[in-house]
Amino acid sequence: MADAIRIHGTRLGKSFADQGVDYKTLPAIKIGRLCVDDRYIGKGIGAHTTYFVMKKLISINEIVGCRFLIVDAKPDSVKFYKKMEFEVLKQREKGTLPMYYDMVKLIKYFKENKAKLSKAKEGNAL
């Protein structure tokens, strides 16, 4: 779902402020209500679904400019998201833990390779 990452007052917010970007929020796509049946945990379904959303975010980024993938992780899923290289936005005592994945490197990689693929296709068409 479309959402925003609230960076004001966080370490991430400070890193943006240090670069002269002083926003309170930035556009994001949120993974909401992702769960895997206990019988299928550890079989790659959650990772596959997360990678699918990352690929969608790259496509969306070309149209509206969206950089972050976010999730409000339940305590028992924090380990999974950390394994997927999500970072904790801010600590909470109770409830869900806001986490994010900065897609900037993947977006840049896909943009660079999209141009290479287009050139390769043009060469094969001739």
Q: What is the DSSP string of 42-53?
A: TSSHHHHHHHHH
Q: What is the mean pLDDT of residues 50-71?
A: 91
Q: Residue 78: its pLDDT value, please?
A: 94
Which H or E run includes 101? strand 97-102
Q: Which residues contact 77 (CB under 8 A, 6 or more apart)?
A: none
Q: Residue 94: its pLDDT value, please?
A: 86
Q: Residue 101: its pLDDT value, please?
A: 96
71 strand-pairing partners: 31, 99
pLDDT band at 87 (very low <50, low <70, confident <90, very high): very high
pTM for this structure?
0.82
* Alpha-carbon gap, residue 55 to 80, rounded angstroms: 19
Residue 17 vs residues 4, 11, 73: alpha-carbon distances, Å: 17, 10, 26
> Backbone phi, then psi, for 103, in 5-degree steps?
-85, 5
2-125 CATH pick, 3.40.1130, 3.40.630, 3.40.50, 1.10.275: 3.40.630
Three-point CA angle 41, 53, 27, nearest 5°: 130
Is the pLDDT score of 124 beyond 70? Answer: no
